[in-house]
Amino acid sequence: MTTKRIPPKLKSLINLLNDSLYHPGSWLGQQLGISRSAVWKYIHQLQQWGITLNVHKSKGYQLPQPIFLLDAQHIETELTTTSHPFQLEVLSHVNSTNDYLKSKIGTATNAIPFCLAEHQTAGRGRLGRTWISPFGTNLYLSCLWSFQQDLSELAGLSLVVGLAVIAALREQGLRDEIKIKWPNDILWQHKKLAGVLTEISAETYGYAQAIIGVGLNINMPVIPTPGINQDWTTVHAITGTIQDRNKLAALVIKQLLQMIPHFAQSGLKPFLATWRQHDALFDKVITLEHGNNQISGIGAGINTNGHLLLRHVDGTICSYSSGNTTIQK
Residues that bind ligand BTN (CB under 6 A): 96-98, 120, 123-126, 129, 131, 140-142, 185, 195-197, 213-215
CB of 310 within 8 A of CB of 290?
no
Residue 199 CB, shortest distance to ligand BTN, in Å, is: 9
Nearer Cβ to ligand BTN, position 94 or 154? Answer: 94
Which residue sits closest to ligand BTN, CB atoms considered?
195
* Strand 60-62 versus strand 178-181 pairing type: unpaired
CB of 290 within 8 A of CB of 320?
yes
Residue 198 CB, shortest distance to ligand BTN, in Å, is: 9
Residue 308 CB, shortest distance to ligand BTN, in Å, is: 16
Q: How far apart are CA 135 and CA 113, in angstroms?
A: 22
Residue 91 CB, shortest distance to ligand BTN, in Å, is: 11
Residue 80 CB, shortest distance to ligand BTN, in Å, is: 25
CB of 200 within 8 A of CB of 154?
yes
Calculated CA dihedral for residues 249, 184, 156, 161, nearest 10 degrees: 10
102: helix, coil or strand? helix
Nearer Cβ to ligand BTN, position 46 or 197? Answer: 197
Residue 141 CB, shortest distance to ligand BTN, in Å, is: 6
Nearer Cβ to ligand BTN, position 4 or 44? Answer: 4
Q: What is the distance between the terminal CA atoms of the chain, rounded to a whole angstrom?
A: 43
Q: How far apart are CA 146 and CA 110, in angstroms?
A: 10
| CA angle (279, 281, 285) in 5-degree steps | 160
Nearer Cβ to ligand BTN, position 186 or 302? Answer: 186
Nearer Cβ to ligand BTN, position 140 or 271? Answer: 140
Nearer Cβ to ligand BTN, position 15 or 199? Answer: 199
CB of 84 within 8 A of CB of 128?
no
Q: How far apart are CA 237 and CA 233, in angstroms?
A: 6
